[in-house]
Structure 1
Amino acid sequence: ALRLACRHPRRVAALVLVRPAWTFSPAPQNMRPITEAAELILEHGADKGRTIFARSDTATRLYREAPDNLASLLGYFDRPDAKGFAQVLADIASDGPGVCDSDVAALDIPALVVGNPMDAVHPLSSAYTLAAAMPHAVFAEITPKARNSARHFIELHEQISSFLQSNSNARSLIPS
């Protein structure tokens, strides 16, 4: 979404970024757990890879700091297409937004950037960084899904609804 807005700003009336994982560089450190899971699936298969990952320092850290991320990562090992999906995961984790800070600073559209703590893969610092880089961005911190999933989704819905309502007159939200 960010790349589209930077490359084709006349086609984007507003931008909503929820729990961004990247700022400006590819393969940030926060994507390392995804890379690790993908490599284990590709090298050892889903069952053995899951066992290795579950005993890893990464899993231990995520259990303490971001249990929702750990649950998602462990779910990757349980997919019926785990091996094929592992390559997609590796590609995603090594990718980036394809924009630089000056591209983002030049955006002249309203933006909402939503983040939450307790998320090691989508760090709150990435949301802060992107919101600060965009001249017309609003930052919203919401309840972590790991702490209260229902509250997380209620707050997310409220933030997006409010943003869209308050910016519907800024420019038509229907691209021309």
Structure 2
Amino acid sequence: MSERWIRRDGARLRIVEAGEGAAVLFQHGLGGDAAQAEGNFPDGAGWHRLTLECRAQGQSEPGRTRPFSIAMFADDATAATEAAGMRSFVAGGVSMGAAIALRLAVTRPDLVSALVLVRPAWVAETAPGNMRAYGVAADAMLRHPRHPAAARETFAASTEARRLAEVSPDNLASLVGFFERPDLASTADLLADIAADGPGVTREAIAALRLPVLVVGNSEDHVHPLALAREIAELIPAARLVEVPAKAADKAAHQAAVRHAISGFLAALPVAPSEGILR
């Protein structure tokens, strides 16, 4: 594994690369980092994986440009692939990372040769209902920016938090973890902005995609409903949907199944190993 850094709009951003072979851009979810991406990507797959830690996530700086957006992160990811000399790549990611990959597939078809969408949280809409709890958490942070415990208690008392406790405790645990971050102000901006955002593409543009696509979904997940994974898979003619064990029930089994699905998908792509590109 190696790392490099790029600067975008005054923000220093971390890039992590691992493996050898054809290029894959594989992005983490909201609040995640390169380690999350690594945990969902198959070892020894014969591919060169690049993950950009998006602004205000992982070790990357938030910078001053606001609002944060999926389009911003997609542009940053493109700059990261350019810095690494990638001329064409498979685009993929988890949750927010899947939204970044989907946007790139639509807006940069010259770069994206195949698509891997793991636990998507968006199709085409902005501010989908399944992301509402992130906005509520951001509001609690803004009300108590210097008092994480008070902010966490405010969020815990909210209707959204109580609902997640009943229907998707794994999602709730992930959200509560944001209150441990040292910079609640930039974290609030991140959560509020991305929860209110979307990939910035239309269903018509998604349906017009003509490239190999893997969509991975699971049940017992309010933020990443299996219905969204099914909808995307139905929109794209060449898409394949794989349902894996719920992350909430067994994280290790879930990640193992995700890695297995991605490994099989990548192995079936028409890649010339010596050239490292898709044909």
**Normalising by structure 1, what TM-score?**
0.93
Q: Which aligned segments of 4 or more residues in structure 1 are displaced greater than 3 angstroms?
A: none
Structure 1 position 101 matched with structure 2 position 203: yes
Structure 1 position 69 matched with structure 2 position 140: no
Matching residue of 1:16: 116
Give structure 2 stretches of 5+ with no counterpart: 1-100
Matching residue of 1:56: 158
Q: Give the length in aligned residue pairs.
A: 175
The one-letter code of the counterpart of 1:133 is L
Separation in 1 of the partners of 2:162 and 2:243? 26
- The one of the two structures with greater contact order (alpha-carbon pairs below 8 A, sep at least 6) is 1
1:28-72 Cα distance to aligned partner (Å, 9 max, x none): 111100000001101223221210211222222212211111001
Structure 1 position 4 matched with structure 2 position 107: no
Going by fraction, where is strand more abundant, 1 or 2?
A: 2
1:115-143 Cα distance to aligned partner (Å, 9 max, x none): 11111111111111111110100011111
Where do 1:9-158 residues align within 5 Å? 9-45=109-145, 46-158=148-260
1:107 shift after superposition: 0.7
Percent sequence identity is 48
Whether the aligned pair in 1 keeps the contact of 2:213 and 2:239 (CA below 8 Å) is yes
1:168 shift after superposition: 3.4
**Normalising by structure 2, what TM-score?**
0.60
Whether the aligned pair in 1 keeps the contact of 2:271 and 2:277 (CA below 8 Å) is no
The one-letter code of the counterpart of 1:174 is I
Whether the aligned pair in 2 keeps the contact of 1:59 and 1:70 (CA below 8 Å) is yes
Going by fraction, where is helix more abundant, 1 or 2?
A: 1
